Amino acid sequence: MTQQGAVLQGYNNELVKCIEDLCMQKEELNKQIQQAEEEKNKLQHEIQVLSEQLECVCENLAQKVASRNELDKILAETEAAYMKILDSSRTLLNVLKKEVGSLKHMSELKTN
């Protein structure tokens, strides 16, 4: 029986050693899980910060595009009005030249 007790004791020692090894593996795995969760939380926070920054940039961009579109409209209207002024000025100049020409012609006829 002593020999069977020694064999049983050997099995018991091996079993305890295996259990201790498994416990150490579990502790190491728990550390890795904790590190991975911390990294995940850090990345989620960075994503949230970047998402908020992106939202601000998008809003700012939309405002700038709207301002540019308004400026384009004002510029187009201003250029159209300026072209009308140029046309009116040319018409006025032609009328004035015609009137001056008529006055010269009348004064030449009077002097002759």
Whole-number Å distance between alpha carbons of 8 and 103: 139
User: What confidence tens digit (pLDDT) does each residue in 56-65 have?
Assistant: 999 999 999 9
* pLDDT value for 6: 87
Full-model pTM: 0.60
User: pLDDT: is 5 or 86 the higher one?
Assistant: 86
> How far, in Å, CA of 75 to CA of 72, rounded?
5
Helix, strand and coil percent figures for the chain, each rounded to 5: 100, 0, 0
pLDDT band at 17 (very low <50, low <70, confident <90, very high): very high
CA gap 68, 96 in Å, rounded: 41
Distance (Å, whole) CA 8 – CA 4: 6
Instruction: Please report, rounded to a whole number, the percentage of residues in the chain having pLDDT higher than 70.
Output: 97
pLDDT tens digits, 33-58: 999 999 999 999 999 999 999 999 99
